[in-house]
Amino acid sequence: MAKKRKKFLKGEKILYLLIGLLIVGNILGQSFSMALLSKTNIEVESIKKKINKQTDLNQSLEMKINELASLENVEAVATNHGLEYNNNNIVVVTE
- Helix then strand then coil, % of the chain, to nearest 5: 75, 0, 25
Running DSSP on this structure, what letter comes out for residue 70?
Answer: S
Question: For residues 32 and 45, what is the distance between their CA atoms, to the nearest angstrom?
Answer: 20
Range of the domain at 67: 11-84
pLDDT for residue 62: 96
User: Using 50, 70 and 90 to split pLDDT, how confident is the model at 25?
Assistant: very high
- Domain count along the chain: 1
2 inside domain: no
Domain-located, residue 6: no
Residue 76: CA atoms inside 13 Å, Cβ hemisphere, count? 7
| pLDDT top residue among 18 and 75 | 18
- Give the list of residues 6+ apart from residue 67 with CB closer than 8 angstroms, or none: 73
**90 in a structural domain:** no
Residue 90 binned pLDDT confidence (cut-offs 50, 70, 90): confident
pTM above 0.75, yes or no: no
